[in-house]
A = this chain, B = another copy of it.
Amino acid sequence: MRHYIILLGKLALILCCSVQLSWAQETLLVQKQSFEMENFSTFGGKTIKQVKVGWESYGTLNQDKSNVILVTHYFSGNSHAAGKYSQDDAKPGYWDSIIGPGKTIDTNRYFVISVDSLVNLGVHDPHVITTGPASIDPDTGNPYGLTFPVVTIRDFVNVQKAVLTSLGISKLHAVIGASMGSMQALEWATAYPDWVERMISVIGVGQADAWTTLTLEQWATPIRLDQHWNNGNYYQQQAPLDGLTASLMMITQQAMHPDYINALNPQHWPLEPAPLNDINQSHQVVNWLKGAAQARAKIMDANHLLYLVRANQLFVAGHHDKLQQAMKRVKAKCLLLPSDNDLLLMPYMAKELQQALIAAGKSAKLAEISGPMGHLNGVTGISQQRATIAAFLADKD
């Protein structure tokens, strides 16, 4: 019996080691890089001095620089699309399921790159490098606050273009992005059509319609109502954390779906004693979402959220005419991957974009992602469309 246990122990040790080895082989270790520009001219005609953003890459740039895939990130995201900063990281980048050695977006083959957006939400995240209202204005030595100019999705794209150009890149095998990232991907294809060979829009849109503009405004409202917001001047005092938390609670819920929230809270029962007896007490499910939002708020900045909301509200592909006009400029072949139960950027928006592309004589395929998470299916469920994406990238679709 003892011998049997020793044998089992050895077997366990061997199994552990082999798992450890294969884990070490599979873990893509990445590092945040930094890029700086002396002067940046915004789409709105303003100048921002000393723009600094972070970026990450996975895989190796080939000699003729023809193997580049740009990944553009979503509203609360950053350029950490895949891999880990260290073996100890709890989680890898958000699309690690499709980006890496031997994966759908194969880093043995492609040079994958992603750039932290301007006005990035996670400005206090040590792994984010960004420039926005929380940054120091070199002219005054104080944080910009609301003196920072309004920026648009085109500005995010132009910063990425500067990063790519600094690496000698002038062509994208593909650009792929989810949600706000889809706006950037499409903006690339309309603003710089000669750069973009393939465009993948995940849980995406062609423009912010009236409905979406109002939804985005809901996210800005709690921050503006928080007395600590103080018209954006709070960097020397208490930050508007209650407003920011309320905004994040809203964003989190709206990006999900009842199927998911209800399944996560199977114990929910409406007649809880605390909220029944006291108007100032909340249901457990409210406290749960609030706790999660409060934790996230610590690395975020309220003014940055307002500027991100505005960039999204101002989005129409091409930043010029009506959507239909902009579609004529596209040279990339396009793949659209909406989530079928998305409540935030509903599938009708991707379908309208597809129709606009087809009406302009462009190639635009559409396949739906499913799952319980609504909008977030585009992040968590992307691997459902591995085969579609792989075929699209290899022109075998």
Contacts and interface: CB of A to CB of B under 8 A. Distances in A.
Contacts of A48: none
Q: Which residue, of A148, A243, A246, has the highest number of chain B Cβ atoms within 10 A?
A: A246
A102 interface: no
Given A213-B268, A225-B225, A279 B262 contact: no
A306 interface: yes
B221 A270 contact: no
A218 B250 contact: yes
Contacts of A322: 269
Nearest to A280: B146
Given A150-B279, A276-B152, A307-B279, A214 B270 contact: no
A52 interface: no
Contacts of A146: 279-280
B225 A242 contact: yes
Interface residues of A, number: 63
Nearest to A42: B276
Contact of A217 (B242, B264, B282): B282
Interface in A138-162: 146, 148, 150, 152
A130 B310 CA distance: 41
- Chain copies in the assembled complex: 2
Contact of A270 (B211, B262, B276, B316): B316
A243 B316 CA distance: 30
B150 A211 contact: no
A55 interface: no
Interface stretch (A29-37, A86-94, A283-291): A283-291
A368 interface: no
Contact of A209 (B227, B253, B258, B320): B258
A384 interface: no
A212 B253 CA distance: 10
A306 B283 contact: no
Q: Which residue, of A270, A282, A346, has the highest number of chain B Cβ atoms within 10 A?
A: A270
A225 B210 contact: no
Nearest to A148: B279
A9 interface: no
B319 A271 contact: yes
A226 interface: yes
Interface string A341-365: 0010010100000000000000000
A268 B209 contact: yes
B225 A286 contact: no
B286 A348 contact: no
Q: Which residue, of A213, A265, A275, has the highest number of chain B Cβ atoms within 10 A?
A: A213
Interface in A297-334: 306-307, 310, 313-316, 319-320, 322
Contact of A285 (B213, B276, B315): B213
Contacts of A397: none
Given A207-B270, A225-B222, A277 B150 contact: yes
B286 A150 contact: no
A129 interface: no
A275 B43 CA distance: 13
B209 A221 contact: no
A213 B283 contact: yes
Given A150-B279, A346-B258, A270 B213 contact: yes
A214 B260 CA distance: 13
9 contacts: A148-B279, A150-B276, A150-B277, A210-B285, A214-B249, A214-B261, A222-B222, A225-B243, A276-B314
Q: What are the 7 closest A-B residue pairs judged by CB atoms, nearest first?
A: A210-B265, A211-B258, A225-B225, A210-B268, A227-B227, A270-B316, A210-B285
